[in-house]
Structure 1
């Protein structure tokens, strides 16, 4: 599919001047002059413009050739590791909604998708705000009124996801009436993840108890009560002190009472309907519980899609047909407030699973999107494969340094704003307004200043005050 040059089929002319003038020339960028479009996330070949989601518009004037007002698109063909940073209220969670809208099956056709084949997604919704993706904006909500006005200005129609499912753990506040219960199967949790969850070292008496218990119960559909019974049986532990077992049983019994675990809980396969968006509403859980859910999902996605693609490759090599089992070819895992599930300075259940996911997930068709307001607090080993960044306003130098270190291209060196030449990239980030960010990718010679488009579905992150 090619880009249209008809004004009625393009986005509104919302940017014709900018307060930001970048002195560094943009010597390399994936630009399509037909319709004035800039593509991020892949190098363009011939006129293959399919599988692009609409991000927004170029906001900077540039020395030399300027792309001010051009439409900005992001590739959805290849697996990405996308890193979104910004202070609270800068627009990072908004970006997540924009990206998910762009890859999902929508209720009606929208120009925000340029021949996009819908992709299955799972959102780790740590603030329980993405349920609104399933609904168009409403005029009765003041913040939505402003959103509807912006949509008109951008020549966009309100829309919503056609296949959004919301899941909530037992005991969580629900307000839709359609939420499905989210419970973890104990057998899906590995020994090292149990240790991290319960605050125990893997190579300790308590770690040995957990490993031996899981080995004894095997692949049966066991409950936490079965774990407690096995640990509580003196005959199973002739050389282990009772105090070591108590350190485990007290915490396990606490989790038994939460009902977060169940032998009949959901399998990750339950989230893999092709093109569906699965929103896990986790606001009321403890951070370590959010991390555990993330670990189980990331690890199982890697295993399931890895096997799926290996079978496809083998069948292709031997020129055999492969019908598959309904597993989608691609999945995006989206994590809001990623520093909560994978903190830098403490052991978390999700750490190992996410490191493996980003290092080897590309061949399995897996993308990862991470958003955080505290880049310096996020475990940086998870960021080793970042290839696209959205850098919003940040204030603290430690966070700015951590964010800039992961930008996959050069940052802007000199930018003029309000009559002042800014030569420190941190100062440039500090002056950005909400919804403005420096977008970086490996196909561009430097970061590019972009105004993110308005959401077409209702935005759940508005302030009620």
Structure 2
């Protein structure tokens, strides 16, 4: 068996699939190193298998002792994991208001910290632990009535999102033995970014402080919706610094050209499915190392489920057929022919 992402040594692995032989037959089995932290990127156009592959990786590390798996699920694709072959819990996305900090609160609400309204929200976030306390601070502030009214309206909007809770998500839940699925289906971009920012920080801080003995693996589907929002700084920290305390971060997207360059350049493992957009292919080619010889466009697979794997740990590339999942895949598109018209 070939273990991608490992330059010698032993340890737990996550089964990925097998080599693609030229005649279409199965080659040697291929797995991904699950012993050390990684920054990974799974890309591919819609329907090429990227979300399916993310599920395969999630299955693989779910059974590894010492790993805590958290998946950010903006489409509700991974909800089907609950009650399947892995121990998974689908949890409501609830985070503490003070998990964001004053600067993020201003960014989240689209306010300049230098404006009167932004400065008031900043002060409220600095002195308050809950959203209710922030609103109470604003109501009692010695400020212009128009400024108080504007700040109150912004915080009322944040409350309507339903993602802020005084208890929030406990670190013990996120770093527990079960897979934690954060179901963000139907949640708008701004509150979804707030949830991911808080969760990413919680996983990182838990490892820095010694609050988690397990190594967290954070999986983010549709990552392009998060890398330019409030969650961008938290993701950047995981990608650039997360491996030192032991936090893995895996991003999946159909639009690699929409990701910041750091998301591609920091990935030590790249799993690329079919891409047809010239902008997406160029984005990968510009950030990949020199040992990826030849045109990237000619090396990308054409069939669903096939992947070009670029392993920066061993400076090698692999052509892999991703294995079948053992858990239900919720990412397929419905078909009119399958509708019950009775």
Question: Partners of 1:104 and 1:408 in 2: how far apart?
Answer: 30
Note closer, same or farther for the CA distance 1:445–1:186 as it changes in structure 2 (3 Å cut): closer
For residues 381-431 of structure 1, the C-alpha deviation after alignment (integer angstroms, 9 at most, x for no partner) is 344421000011111111111123344563252xxxxxxxxxx321442x5
CA displacement at 1:190 relative to structure 2: 1.0
| Structure 2 residue aligned with 1:337 | 222
The SS at the match of 2:89 is: strand
The SS at the match of 1:363 is: coil
CA displacement at 1:242 relative to structure 2: 3.8
User: What are the residue-to-residue correspondences of 1:26-425 with 2, within 5 Å?
Assistant: 37-45=1-9, 48=10, 50-61=11-22, 69-105=27-63, 116-117=64-65, 119-136=67-84, 160-161=85-86, 163-168=87-92, 182-217=93-128, 220=129, 222=130, 224-235=131-142, 237=143, 241-273=144-176, 275-308=177-210, 327-343=212-228, 348-407=229-288, 410-413=291-294, 424-425=295-296
The SS at the match of 2:267 is: coil
Note closer, same or farther for the CA distance 1:409–1:458 as it changes in structure 2 (3 Å cut): farther
Question: Partners of 1:443 and 1:301 in 2: how far apart?
Answer: 24
2:102–2:123 CA contact under 8 A, matched in 1: no
Question: Partners of 1:359 and 1:404 in 2: how far apart?
Answer: 20
Q: Work out the number of aligned pairs and report it.
A: 334
Note closer, same or farther for the CA distance 1:119–1:216 as it changes in structure 2 (3 Å cut): closer
The SS at the match of 2:244 is: helix
For residues 349-400 of structure 1, the C-alpha deviation after alignment (integer angstroms, 9 at most, x for no partner) is 1111111222221121100000000111122334442100001111111111
The SS at the match of 1:401 is: helix
Question: Partners of 1:61 and 1:446 in 2: how far apart?
Answer: 18
List gaps (5 residues or longer) in structure 1.
1-36, 106-115, 137-159, 169-181, 309-324, 414-423
Question: Partners of 1:268 and 1:129 in 2: how far apart?
Answer: 23
1:389–1:407 CA contact under 8 A, matched in 2: no
Note closer, same or farther for the CA distance 1:234–1:366 as it changes in structure 2 (3 Å cut): closer
**Which one has the largest radius of gyration?**
1
For residues 4-43 of structure 1, the C-alpha deviation after alignment (integer angstroms, 9 at most, x for no partner) is xxxxxxxxxxxxxxxxxxxxxxxxxxxxxxxxx2221011
CA displacement at 1:447 relative to structure 2: 2.0
| Structure 2 residue aligned with 1:19 | none
Q: State the TM-score, normalizing by the size of structure 2.
A: 0.90
The SS at the match of 2:90 is: strand
CA displacement at 1:103 relative to structure 2: 0.7
Note closer, same or farther for the CA distance 1:375–1:90 as it changes in structure 2 (3 Å cut): same
Question: Partners of 1:363 and 1:250 in 2: how far apart?
Answer: 41
Question: Partners of 1:339 and 1:398 in 2: how far apart?
Answer: 14
Q: Do structure 1's residue 456 and structure 2's residue 326 form an aligned pair?
A: yes
List gaps (5 residues or longer) in structure 2.
336-342
